[in-house]
Amino acid sequence: MLIVDIIVLWIHIFCAIIFVGGSFFMWLVLWPASFKVTQDERERTLMVGRVAKRFAYFTHVTIATLVVTGIYNATWYLGGNYDLLATEGGRILLAKVILVGIMIFVIYFNNIYHGRKITRLAREGKIQEVQRIRRYTHVMSYFSLALMVAIIFLATSLQFF
């Protein structure tokens, strides 16, 4: 039904806005601003960690919703032809799903796992350990942001095929 398709696509896009917008906000706004709030490395790490933990709830909900609504969108988008390799649009969708899978893996197995570890180490005052892990998580975070940009590019391309 058209109205259901519209509502589900709206939920999909709205979740993408919260998820992608929130992720970029963390790196473009919160992280640089945290250096101006306090010079105390332990306090700063705990503050950013607290915000990241709260944003993680939204990450869980929006990613789960994006996957469920995305699968629904795919049913009308592929128009009964469920062979993802048969059409240009299907291949773009397949590439998008693969990138989504990689992004989910990177976010859960690196950012969230290490994020909790960083907060615990900061609370224990082990700042050198924190800095060592943080170098690694920063690379992973930039990689997940790059994946988001690529996923949005593929999502936009779907409109034209």
Does the protein bind ligand HEM through residue 7 (CB under 6 A)?
no
- Specify the amino acid at residue 145: L
Distance CA 91, CA 77 (A): 12
Q: Residues in contact with ligand HEM, total (CB under 6 A)?
A: 23
For tokens 């999909």, what's the residue?
12
Does the protein bind ligand HEM through residue 74 (CB under 6 A)?
yes
**Closest chain position to ligand HEM (CB):** 70
Binding to ligand HEM (CB under 6 A) within 108-147 occurs at: none
Q: Is 86 helix (H, G, I), strand (E, B) or coil?
A: coil
Does the protein bind ligand HEM through residue 159 (CB under 6 A)?
yes
| CA-to-CA separations, 114 to 32, 41, 49, 121, 149, in angstroms, rounded | 20, 17, 11, 10, 23
Residues that bind ligand HEM (CB under 6 A): 12-13, 16, 19-20, 66-67, 70-71, 73-74, 77, 93, 96-97, 100, 148, 151-152, 155-156, 158-159
